[in-house]
A = this chain, B = another copy of it.
Amino acid sequence: MNDLTSLDMVSRLRSSGKRITPERKLLLRIIEQHAHLDAEEIYRIAQRDRPQIGLATVYRTLTLLKNLDIVRATDLGENHGHYEVRSEEHVHLVCSICGCVTDVPVPSALRAAAKKEQFAVQSTHFEIFGTCRSCSDKPSTASEAKRG
């Protein structure tokens, strides 16, 4: 709950010499409000506010925000990226049935393992694929799957 707000991020953009455009503010807000969307999904939501926006702008903005460490891409087992605002590191529990993503904190033992190898950690990507509790409870709903 103590994460960056859009305002923080906008000032981070500005202080790195980048311009604050309506497209960037919009996309930032969308990524902030909906974690784990892919580029297409972000694009479609953005079009509701700004119908003429281009998919290329979405990709270019994502690249920019990644370089500024404001957002990060994660691999949720499909063959395209999903994006979220960068906050504390966490583990994604990705349900293969309903596609939901739950975030849980990263055990300190993981960073300790890297330290033991004298590996200087820049970023982490932890995904656990399986079945979430509610899908385990009602196995029949499997066909409602959001993704493949």
Contacts and interface: CB of A to CB of B under 8 A. Distances in A.
Interface residues of A, number: 37
Contacts of A96: 122
A102 B114 CA distance: 10
A93 interface: yes
Contacts of A75: 75, 125
A114 B104 contact: yes
Contacts of A133: 117-119
Contacts of A127: 124-126
Interface of A: 75, 77, 79, 81, 91, 93, 95-96, 102, 104-105, 107-110, 112-114, 116-133, 136
